[in-house]
Every structure is written in structure tokens, then in C-alpha cells.
Amino acid sequence: MDTKVMKTFCDLVDMASFVRAADARNITQSAVSQQLAKLEAMFSTQLINRGGGGVAPTEAGMALYEAARDVLGRYERMFEEVRTAALGGGGALRVGTIYSVGLYLLQPYIRKFIRAYPTINLMVEYTDAARIMQDLLAGEMDLGVVAYPERHRALQSIPFTKEQLVVVCAPGNPVAKRRRVLPQELAGRRFVALSPPVPTRRHIDRALRRAGVAVE
């Protein structure tokens, strides 16, 4: 089985979205669907439920997901060991990052690191915050880049950067021309947000609750 197909399937399960999985792999949504169809044909069973509740793995799909994660981890460690030996040592650094930070903020730092430490095998994995925390605690990652990290006595959190949360709306919206929007002005409005498990979403929900604001 192609490792690229396994990575696409794992992204699909992690992000519960064909669109986001396609963006993460830099392929079309149709290509994600085709790869999934090949996997389901290979195993002669349905691997993903596609319903009104979103995208979720079947029992067989979850079994494949767990096995694929293990295989990909072994593959990456093999690649890491061979490359390190070929470079005459130097070691490796395993970094996990959430998609938003990794794709839009981390790239200049990655290029700078590679130029400064050419013999270090830098491995960057794009995944969700929960998986990063899990892999850090299991020793599968050396460094994680997340938003609103959970406190854990086995981990040390170091601030990396600060970003301001802003309201994005249509030009005709009453708050569109405002330089500052109060939470109360969002009350009762239709609100598009990240999925509930995402730390940034939880932070926004807490802020709205503290302000006594309910959105649709």
C-alpha cells in the first residue's frame, strides 16, 4: 500500500473533512475520494461513513487508521535512521504542528532551521492538537506547536507568538466597517466556527459564555 494513500486516509479521519484532507495533501477533493474508493475496494468493506453528521470512520476504518498510523511511524523512523547514518550523524528533530500554524506561520522558521543545521533531519508532521499532545507524552515527538496548549506536568510550554482573533464577515454586515467588535454585538448572529474539539474553538466558546453571548 502506498504511504501517500495511508497519509491521506489518516488526514481524512483526523480532520473529518474531504476538503481539509485534500488541502493538507495538496490534492483535489476528487483525488481523496478516489484514494478512499481504492482502499475500500482493497479491503472489500466501507471504511468511512458519510452522513449528515459529517465524516467518521467505521469500525473497520478505525482499525485501518490505527494500523496505518503505526506503519507510517515505523516508516518515518526508518527513513530518519537511514538519513542520519548517511549524513554521518547529526540526529533528528520530530516536530508536530497544527495545520493553521504549520502551513502559514512556521515555514520561514523551518527554512531558517534547515539552513542553520543542515545535518539535522527535521521531520514535520501536520496534525491536530490532541494527536500532538498524545505523541509528545508517548515520546513520538520532540516538539509540538499548538494553540492554547493543555497544561501537563510532563510537558513544558514556551510562548511562540501571539495572534489576534478577528471577526470575518461579509462587506454588507453591520459590523464590517468597525475597527473593534464587542462580543455582545455577535449575539444571535449566525456564526461559522471551528469544530468543537479544536482548542481555539473552545477558547472562543469560553469567551462568549463569559460575555453572556449566544450565537447561532
- The count of structural domains within the chain is 3
pLDDT of amino acid 54: 73
C-alpha cell at 31: 483525488
Question: Any idea which of 84-93, 139-148, 163-172, 184-193 has the lowest mean pLDDT?
Answer: 84-93
Q: Output the average pLDDT for the chain.
A: 86
Residue that is written with C-alpha cell 473533512 in the block: 17
pLDDT tier at 41, thresholds 50, 70, 90: very high
Rounded to an integer, the average pLDDT of 170-190 is 86
Q: Is residue 80 part of a domain?
A: no
- CB-CB contact of 111 with 157 (8 Å): no
- 103 and 156 both lie in a single domain: yes
Between CA 107 and CA 110, with CA 109 as vertex, the angle to 5 degrees is: 65
Say whether both 145 and 209 belong to one domain: no
Q: What is the DSSP string of 38-101?
A: HHHHHHTS--EEEETTEEEE-HHHHHHHHHHHHHHHHHHHHHHHHHHHHTTS--EEEEEE-HHH
Contact 159, 186 (CB under 8 A): no
Task: For residue 124, give its domain range.
Answer: 88-163
Residues in the chain: 216
Q: Tell me, what's the pLDDT at 164?
A: 80
| Reported pTM | 0.55
> Could you tell me if 183 and 145 lie in one domain?
no
The residue among 65, 100, 118 that closes a domain is 65
Q: What average pLDDT does range 169-173 have in this prediction?
A: 88
pLDDT at 124 > cutoff 70:
yes
Reduced to 3 states, what is the DSSP secondary structure of residue 143?
strand
